[in-house]
Amino acid sequence: MSVMKFLQLFLWFIFASVSTHAISGEVLSKLQGYPEQGGFVWGQTIPLAQVKLGDASAQADEKGLFYIGIPRLAQQTEQLEISVLGVPQYTQKLTIAQHEYPTQYIKGVKKKHVNPRSEADMAHIRSDIEKINAARAQPFEMLPYIEKTFSQPVSGTITGVYGSRRFYNGEERSWHKGTDFARKTGTPIAAPQDAVVKLALANSYFNGNLIMLDHGHGMMTLYAHLDRLDVKTGDSVKQGDVIGTVGSTGRSTGPHLHWGLYWGKMALNPMLLFKTPQNLM
């Protein structure tokens, strides 16, 4: 069979599938999640369909499952759009809960972690950014782990929350992109769900010893300021496996775990993983 004939048949199949779904009202058969700033939603639609929510876009997998993030400052109303090969199939407006984020003032931070100046420090930072962005930018793996129930990587007092403005030694820097748990140095950190280790990076400038776990569909969890790394890039881990220990490396004033959740490069609120999702249909 020629390539052209194959493409023609493929397109015929796709459009026939779309028409069947549209007529039967099954373009979107499930939509759940956390419609709030820093949240995310997931659903079931036409296999390989394109999904947009505001400025974010994703592609459904071969079974029609998709996940898509909602940024920290999303508008109160965002539109969900589903299309196939550029042809719109479904739209739905979502009301996005708005948050007032706190401000946190942190003192006693090393000057070099507030205002890095040396060329060596700047080169270190650039190298870290390249490695982290490369890990986040890889094509989304359609791993099934994000669909499972998550557990906390550690217990402990929460000392920092997602979304807060942050001042270090009186100077404002980037907003806080996760949840901080205060624990003693050496406390084991458990994988909250099955995953592939996307990045295990020692001695990063701001995050210290760092791990990124890929749970599928672009959803990754991040673990920063670790004392010890017990996994390496490319490893597979199971829920409950020890991946490292709590520490105070990088820009840190005391032992704690910084735990983040990302959809691609978008930072989300990791504590939503323990909240009952809403049915949005």
Our count of domains for the chain comes to: 2
Asked which of 68, 95, 122 is the last residue of a domain, the reply is 95
Check which CATH number belongs to the domain holding 259 and give it: 2.70.70.10
Q: From 55, 232, 234, 246, select the one nearest 157 (Cα to Cα).
A: 246
Is 72 in the same domain as 142? Answer: no
Is 70 in the same domain as 150? Answer: no
Q: From 27, 145, 21, 164, select the one nearest 106 (Cα to Cα).
A: 164
Q: From 93, 136, 82, select the one nearest 261 (Cα to Cα).
A: 136
Which pTM was predicted? Answer: 0.89
* Residue 275: domain span: 103-279
Is 182 in the same domain as 255? Answer: yes
Check which CATH number belongs to the domain holding 62 and give it: 2.60.40
Q: 206 and 177 in contact (C-beta within 8 Å)?
A: no
Q: Which residues contact 233 (CB under 8 A, 6 or more apart)?
A: 197, 198, 199, 200
- What is the per-residue pLDDT for 144? 81
Q: 228 and 246 in contact (C-beta within 8 Å)?
A: no
- What is the per-residue pLDDT for 18? 45
- What is the per-residue pLDDT for 55? 94
- What is the per-residue pLDDT for 153? 98
Is 107 in the same domain as 31? Answer: no
Is 129 in the same domain as 256? Answer: yes
- What is the per-residue pLDDT for 147? 85
Is 142 in the same domain as 273? Answer: yes
Residue with tokens 């069947």: 20
Is 146 in the same domain as 254? Answer: yes
| pLDDT tens sequence for the chain (281 residues) | 455 544 543 543 455 444 444 433 589 999 999 999 999 999 999 999 999 999 999 999 999 999 999 999 999 999 999 999 999 999 999 999 999 999 999 999 999 999 999 999 999 999 999 999 999 887 677 788 888 899 999 999 999 999 999 999 999 999 999 999 999 999 999 999 999 999 999 999 999 999 999 999 999 999 999 999 999 999 999 999 999 999 999 999 999 999 999 999 999 999 999 999 999 98
Q: How many CA atoms lie within 13 A of 138 on its CB side?
A: 18
Is 107 in the same domain as 91? Answer: no
Residue with tokens 């004033």: 253
Is 201 in the same domain as 270? Answer: yes
Hey, what are 150's tokens? Answer: 């998550």
